[in-house]
Protein backbone atom coordinates (compact mmCIF):
# COMPACT_ATOMS: atom_id res chain seq x y z
CA UNK A 1 0.00 0.00 0.00
CA UNK A 2 1.19 3.45 -0.86
CA UNK A 3 1.56 4.93 2.60
CA UNK A 4 4.39 5.70 5.04
CA UNK A 5 4.40 5.96 8.81
CA UNK A 6 6.74 8.66 10.02
CA UNK A 7 7.94 9.75 13.40
CA UNK A 8 7.21 13.46 13.89
CA UNK A 9 10.01 14.95 15.94
CA UNK A 10 8.62 15.57 19.43
CA UNK A 11 10.36 17.39 22.26
CA UNK A 12 8.99 16.41 25.66
CA UNK A 13 9.40 18.26 28.95
CA UNK A 14 8.05 17.15 32.33
CA UNK A 15 6.71 20.55 33.34
CA UNK A 16 5.81 22.31 30.12
CA UNK A 17 4.37 19.59 27.92
CA UNK A 18 5.67 18.80 24.47
CA UNK A 19 6.25 20.32 21.07
CA UNK A 20 6.16 18.47 17.76
CA UNK A 21 7.31 19.73 14.38
CA UNK A 22 8.04 18.74 10.80
CA UNK A 23 9.53 20.61 7.89
CA UNK A 24 8.56 20.47 4.23
CA UNK A 25 11.21 18.90 1.99
CA UNK A 26 13.14 17.75 5.06
CA UNK A 27 11.02 15.56 7.34
CA UNK A 28 8.51 15.04 4.54
CA UNK A 29 9.26 14.77 0.87
CA UNK A 30 6.74 17.26 -0.53
CA UNK A 31 5.97 20.97 -0.52
CA UNK A 32 3.01 21.91 1.65
CA UNK A 33 0.46 24.10 -0.11
CA UNK A 34 -2.48 23.71 2.28
CA UNK A 35 -3.18 22.70 5.86
CA UNK A 36 -6.60 21.81 7.20
CA UNK A 37 -7.85 20.30 10.43
CA UNK A 38 -11.03 18.59 11.54
CA UNK A 39 -12.49 19.24 14.98
CA UNK A 40 -15.64 18.65 17.09
CA UNK A 41 -16.26 15.17 15.68
CA UNK A 42 -18.11 12.78 18.03
CA UNK A 43 -16.72 9.32 18.76
CA UNK A 44 -18.07 6.73 16.32
CA UNK A 45 -18.36 9.20 13.43
CA UNK A 46 -16.67 8.44 10.13
CA UNK A 47 -15.36 10.85 7.54
CA UNK A 48 -13.40 10.42 4.34
CA UNK A 49 -14.83 7.80 1.99
CA UNK A 50 -12.85 8.93 -1.01
CA UNK A 51 -9.51 8.66 -2.79
CA UNK A 52 -7.28 11.30 -4.35
CA UNK A 53 -5.81 11.09 -7.83
CA UNK A 54 -2.72 13.26 -7.29
CA UNK A 55 -2.73 14.72 -3.78
CA UNK A 56 -0.10 13.67 -1.23
CA UNK A 57 -1.07 14.15 2.41
CA UNK A 58 0.44 13.97 5.86
CA UNK A 59 -2.17 13.12 8.50
CA UNK A 60 -1.52 13.49 12.21
CA UNK A 61 -3.63 13.59 15.34
CA UNK A 62 -2.17 15.93 17.98
CA UNK A 63 -5.06 15.20 20.34
CA UNK A 64 -7.17 12.04 20.60
CA UNK A 65 -7.37 8.84 18.60
CA UNK A 66 -8.56 8.10 15.06
CA UNK A 67 -8.30 5.01 12.89
CA UNK A 68 -7.48 5.51 9.22
CA UNK A 69 -8.86 2.61 7.17
CA UNK A 70 -7.00 2.28 3.88
CA UNK A 71 -7.97 0.30 0.78
CA UNK A 72 -6.27 -0.09 -2.57
CA UNK A 73 -8.93 -2.16 -4.32
CA UNK A 74 -7.47 -5.46 -3.08
CA UNK A 75 -6.26 -5.10 0.50
CA UNK A 76 -7.37 -3.21 3.59
CA UNK A 77 -5.09 -1.91 6.34
CA UNK A 78 -5.82 0.08 9.49
CA UNK A 79 -3.54 2.72 10.97
CA UNK A 80 -4.27 4.20 14.40
CA UNK A 81 -3.15 7.77 15.01
CA UNK A 82 -3.04 8.22 18.78
CA UNK A 83 0.15 10.17 19.47
CA UNK A 84 1.27 13.64 18.34
CA UNK A 85 4.48 12.02 17.11
CA UNK A 86 2.75 9.67 14.66
CA UNK A 87 2.46 10.84 11.08
CA UNK A 88 0.82 9.03 8.17
CA UNK A 89 1.76 10.01 4.63
CA UNK A 90 -0.84 8.93 2.08
CA UNK A 91 0.27 8.77 -1.52
CA UNK A 92 -2.30 9.19 -4.29
CA UNK A 93 -4.71 6.42 -5.20
CA UNK A 94 -5.67 5.08 -1.76
CA UNK A 95 -9.26 4.93 -0.60
CA UNK A 96 -9.57 6.15 3.01
CA UNK A 97 -12.21 6.12 5.71
CA UNK A 98 -11.45 7.76 9.03
CA UNK A 99 -13.10 6.60 12.23
CA UNK A 100 -13.15 8.80 15.32
CA UNK A 101 -12.39 6.64 18.37
CA UNK A 102 -12.55 9.45 20.95
CA UNK A 103 -14.80 12.54 21.02
CA UNK A 104 -13.16 15.71 19.74
CA UNK A 105 -10.01 14.03 18.44
CA UNK A 106 -8.27 16.55 16.21
CA UNK A 107 -7.18 15.40 12.76
CA UNK A 108 -4.67 17.69 11.05
CA UNK A 109 -3.61 17.31 7.44
CA UNK A 110 -0.77 18.97 5.52
CA UNK A 111 -1.15 18.48 1.78
CA UNK A 112 0.74 18.94 -1.45
CA UNK A 113 -1.79 21.07 -3.34
CA UNK A 114 -4.67 23.51 -3.18
CA UNK A 115 -8.22 22.26 -2.80
CA UNK A 116 -9.58 20.79 -6.04
CA UNK A 117 -12.76 18.75 -6.03
CA UNK A 118 -11.71 17.23 -9.39
CA UNK A 119 -8.91 15.41 -7.57
CA UNK A 120 -11.43 13.42 -5.50
CA UNK A 121 -13.00 10.05 -6.31
CA UNK A 122 -15.98 9.86 -3.98
CA UNK A 123 -17.79 6.80 -5.32
CA UNK A 124 -16.33 3.40 -4.39
CA UNK A 125 -17.36 1.71 -7.66
CA UNK A 126 -15.72 4.54 -9.61
CA UNK A 127 -12.65 4.03 -7.42
CA UNK A 128 -12.50 0.31 -8.24
CA UNK A 129 -12.75 1.10 -11.97
CA UNK A 130 -10.01 3.70 -11.52
CA UNK A 131 -7.64 1.25 -9.79
CA UNK A 132 -8.30 -1.42 -12.44
CA UNK A 133 -7.59 1.15 -15.15
CA UNK A 134 -4.26 1.94 -13.48
CA UNK A 135 -3.41 -1.75 -13.29
CA UNK A 136 -3.45 -1.98 -9.44
Site string for ligand T46, 19-48 (x = CB under 6 A): ---------------x-x-x--------xx
The active-site residue out of 12, 50, 52, 78 is 50
**Distance between CA 55 and CA 33 in Å, rounded?**
11
Q: Name the strands in the sheet holding 106-111, side by side, starting at the edge strand that comes first in the sequence.
A: 3-7, 86-90, 57-63, 106-111, 34-38
Any bridge partners for residue 5, and if so which? 88
Q: Coil, helix or strand for 84?
A: coil
Could you confirm whether 78 is annotated as catalytic?
A: no
Residue 32 or 38: the one with the smaller Cβ distance to ligand T46 is 38
In whole angstroms, how close is the CB of 10 to ligand T46 at the nearest point?
22
Query: Are 119 and 53 in contact, with CB atoms under 8 Å apart?
Result: yes
Residue whose beta carbon is closest to ligand T46: 47
| Residues involved in catalysis | 50
| Contact positions vs ligand T46 (CB under 6 A) | 34, 36, 38, 47-48, 57, 96, 98, 109, 115
Amino acid sequence: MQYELINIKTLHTEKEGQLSYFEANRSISFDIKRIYYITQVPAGARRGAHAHKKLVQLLFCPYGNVTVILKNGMDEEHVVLDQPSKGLILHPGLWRDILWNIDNSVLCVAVSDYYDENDYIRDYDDYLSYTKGRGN
